[in-house]
């Protein structure tokens, strides 16, 4: 996601609020918020789930109202991708 000019702090706050809303969702391992050190307006919101099924089921429980502040602070609709781990960490193995 790229923050609109002057909206980087707003985007960071909105992503932090979103990250604080998801702990405890079944199957969620962790959330990470990153910004590009070369292009600080660029941000990543990374969710790690135990499975794609857990993501599909639990992500529906996130209040959609939290996305309004994110959308108001970015230049275009966020891109989304789904990746699978090739190597599982001990924590991921234990949660299976």
Q: Is 1 contained in some domain?
A: no
Where b means 16+ CB within 10 Å and e means fewer, 6-45 reads: ebbebbbebbeebbeebeebebbeebeeebeeeeebebeb
84: domain CATH number is 3.30.70.100
Model confidence over 43-52: pLDDT tens digits? 999 999 888 8
pTM of the model: 0.79
Model confidence over 15-41: pLDDT tens digits? 999 999 888 889 899 999 999 999 999
Return the pLDDT at 6. 95
| Residue bearing tokens 């909105």 | 14
Domain containing residue 30? 8-94
Count of domains for the chain:
1
């Amino acid at each position: 996601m790229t923050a609109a000019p002057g909206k980087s702090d707003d985007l960071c706050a909105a992503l932090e609020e979103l990250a604080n809303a998801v702990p405890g969702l079944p199957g969620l391992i962790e959330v990470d918020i990153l910004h590009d050190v070369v292009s600080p307006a660029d941000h990543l919101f990374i969710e790690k789930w135990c499975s794609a099924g857990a993501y599909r089921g639990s992500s529906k429980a996130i209040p959609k109202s939290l996305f309004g502040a994110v959308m108001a602070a970015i230049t275009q609709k966020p891109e989304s991708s789904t990746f699978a781990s090739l190597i599982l960490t001990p924590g991921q193995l234990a949660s299976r």
